[in-house]
């Protein structure tokens, strides 16, 4: 459990750094996708206002601003790793992890590169946590 918390914290910090360098929005904001949910519509409007320096982020509208790397992917992978030693849920956790990674792309919330970057960040956070938690 301690390693899960440490790796999640490290992955969060790394995600913040990566996003600060390469801010990105979901594919629905630049591709010819229609928003598939009210949250995507609100997030798109908030992004436009933020880029125009006309708004401060409001908590109810910024739930999906970080899309590169995919934090959904990061948490899914770290959760699957944390549950791997529990034999009864091992394969279920892996199936849910894979479903999260695939669905973030197929629903228009993320590009595939966001998921790949999320995988990399999750693995970096997990490997780094091994050095910190002994």
pLDDT in tens, the chain (134 residues): 788 889 888 888 888 888 777 766 665 555 555 656 676 667 667 666 666 665 555 545 444 455 778 888 999 999 999 999 899 999 999 999 999 999 988 877 777 888 999 999 999 999 988 888 77
User: How many angstroms separate the Cα of 89 from the Cα of each of 84, 94, 123?
Assistant: 7, 9, 21
The two tokens of residue 83 are: 């549950």
First-to-last CA distance in the chain?
Answer: 12
pTM: 0.68
Q: According to the model, what pLDDT value does residue 26 have? A: 60
């Amino acid at each position: 459990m301690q390693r899960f918390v440490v790796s999640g914290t490290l992955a969060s910090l790394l995600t913040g750094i990566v996003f600060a360098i390469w801010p990105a929005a979901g594919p629905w904001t630049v591709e010819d996708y229609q928003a598939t949910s009210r949250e995507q519509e609100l997030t798109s409007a908030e992004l436009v206002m933020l880029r125009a320096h006309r708004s401060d982020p409001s908590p109810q509208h910024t739930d999906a601003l970080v899309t590169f790397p995919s934090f959904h992917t990061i948490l899914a992978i770290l959760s699957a790793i944390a549950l791997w030693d529990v034999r009864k849920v091992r394969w279920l956790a892996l199936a849910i992890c894979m479903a999260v990674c695939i669905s973030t792309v197929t629903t228009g919330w993320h590009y595939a590169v966001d998921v790949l970057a999320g995988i990399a960040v999750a693995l970096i956070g997990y490997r780094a946590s091994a050095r910190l938690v002994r």
